Structures are given as structure tokens and as C-alpha cells.
Amino acid sequence: MVAGMRYVLLVQYDGTHFSGFQRQKNGRTVQSVLEEGAAEIFGAPTRVAASGRTDAGVHAAGQVCHLDGETSTPPEKLRERFNGLLPPDVRVLKSAEAPEGFDCTRGAKKKTYCYRFYTAESEMPLLERYAVRIKTAPDLAAMRAAARLVEGEHDFKAFCASGSSAKTSVRTVYEAEICKTGKTLFDLYEIRVTGNGFLYNMVRILAGELVSIGCGKGIENLQAAFRTGERALLAKTMPAKGLVLEHVDYGVPLFGAPREE
């Protein structure tokens, strides 16, 4: 690992053509692409860590990464160096010197994910890359009522796909909200979930269950899933393309004072 200053990056990527964030022996990953750029900038192999792994096909609007290295480039200008080397489906939006003792993986306090789906008579080419089409307009009131049951601290064992290495399945969901935007040819829905951490496929399983409830399924299976931890009680896992990691909160500003809207 390269010694020197620790930097923090705000990274955005389209996950369509990536096999997830984490480096793999086979497959294009976001980590490998970032590390290739970092090696060019720092002149040595450089590990890039992230707030958490995103799966194949999942996007990120605001992934947070850190890396260590030595360069004469000012921290806030590191963004430009990276973007001159990265492929077009990955961009560093901001860069800065990391706070003392900062670790982007261990230090994350809250994460916000958004799952998007839409209803339309046929597939919409300008939506299909980042949202999933369903045929039936869901009952928003039913979905929102179910989302309230998800909020708080629970054992989310039933919301975890096999293959998870998590030590505990207890998580806290601070907020689960569902928004609808009506357009002429389609209605776009967003399921936005904020929590202290998420299990493998948790948000996609939750989205699938909320959509199923909106389409007529009762809440009994959701309630039973919390009691029993049985994955089979819940709906299918929604496709990866509808999921975006929107924001990671560390309790302190990482890139200066937030800009006023």
C-alpha cells in the first residue's frame, strides 16, 4: 500500500457494465478501474476502499471512497486527475484530504438507497437502464403502510440473499418513503430507504415485497418474515438496474460546507 496522505473521493458510476464494486479475478469492477487510475496518479499500486460494495448492475450517485498516496496534486484537484483517466461510466465528483482517522467503510453512519420502477403501456427506452417496468399501477397507500412496518430496528434475516458474510442481520431503518411522479406516458416511483447498514440484496428484496403489496399482496407475509426470518415468505428480488446508492452520511462534511440550494 502507498503511504502518505489519505484522500476521500465522492464517486458516481453507472453500474450497467460492471460486475459490482469489489475487485474480482474475472469481470470489470469499479474498484479495479479506480485502482488503475490511482496507480497512474501515484506511480505505485494503490488500494481504493469504498463505503460498501455494490452488486453487479447497481449504480451509485454518491459512493464514498478513500485511498492513501503521495502526489503534488492538491487534494481538491485530484478529481480532475482521476477523470482524465477514468472511463465515461465512472466519475470522481469531489476529492479532498480525509479527516484524521477517517475510514470510509467503518465510519459510515447512514446510507440512503433509492429503488426506481415505473408503470407504462410499453417499455420506455429512456427509463429502462435505471428503472424496472411493472404492468400494474400499485396502491401507494398500501405500500406506504407497509413501509412504516419496516422502519426501526429489526432482524432483517428474511431480507438477505444467501451468500452474506454479515455477522448479524439486525439493522435499523431510519426512513422508508415512496414517491410518485406522474408523466404523460408513464408514472415513475421511487422507494427511498435510509438505514445504518444493509444486508446482501436487502433493499432489492424490500422493494420487491413493497411492490407486491402495492399490487394486492397482503402484509401478513411481511409480518411473518420478521417473526420467522424466512426468505421464502417475501417476494422475488428486484433487478439490480433499478437500485442506486444515493448518499453516505459520516456525521461530518467531507468536502467542505454543503452548498446551499
* Three-state secondary structure string covering 174-200: EEEEEEEEECCCCEEEEEEEEECCCCC
Question: Which pTM does this prediction carry?
Answer: 0.94
Which amino acid does the sequence have at 195?
G
How far is it, in rounded angstroms, from Cα 84 to Cα 68? 19
Is the pLDDT confidence value at 80 over 50? yes
Q: Do domains 5-107 and 110-246 have the same CATH topology?
A: yes
**Average pLDDT of span 144-163:** 94
pLDDT digits (tens, 9 = 90+) for 15-69: 999 999 999 988 999 999 999 999 999 999 999 999 999 999 999 999 999 999 9
Residue 4 has a pLDDT of 82
Per-residue pLDDT, 261: 40
- Percentages (nearest 5) of helix, strand, coil residues in the chain: 25, 30, 45
Give me the pLDDT at residue 256, please.
77
Q: Residues, the chain, total? A: 261
What are the structural domain ranges in the chain?
A: 5-107, 110-246
Which member of 14, 55, 89, 139 is catalytic? 55
- Whether the pLDDT of residue 251 is over 70: the answer is yes
Count CB atoms within 10 A of the CB of residue 107.
Answer: 18
User: Could you name the CATH architecture of 110-246?
Assistant: 2-Layer Sandwich (3.30)
- Asked whether the predicted pLDDT for residue 1 surpasses 50, the reply is no
Domain 5-107 fold is: Alpha-Beta Plaits (3.30.70)
**What's the mean per-residue pLDDT of the chain?**
94
**Residues 75 and 89: beta-carbon distance below 8 Å:** no
pLDDT at 247 over 70: yes
User: For residues 155 and 228, is the Cβ–Cβ distance under 8 A?
Assistant: no
Map residue 147 onto helix, strand or coil.
helix
pLDDT band at 3 (very low <50, low <70, confident <90, very high): low
The pLDDT tens digits for 176-217 are 999 999 888 999 999 999 999 999 999 999 999 999 999 999
The C-alpha atoms of residue 23 and residue 52 are separated, in whole angstroms, by: 12
Query: What burial letters (b/e) apply to 11-32, b meaning 16+ CB within 10 Å?
Result: bbbbbeebbbbebeeeeebbbb
Q: Residue 259's pLDDT is what?
A: 54
**Ramachandran area for residue 130 (φ above 0: left; ψ -120 to 50: alpha; else beta):** alpha
CA distance 150 to 152: 7
Q: Which amino acid makes up residue 174? A: Y
Return all residues near 88 (Cβ < 8 A) that are at least 6 apart.
none
CB 252 within 8 A of CB 240: no
Query: What is the pLDDT at residue 110?
Result: 97
Residue 55 appears among annotated catalytic residues: yes
Q: How confident is the model over 125-143, as a mean pLDDT? A: 96
SS3 116: strand
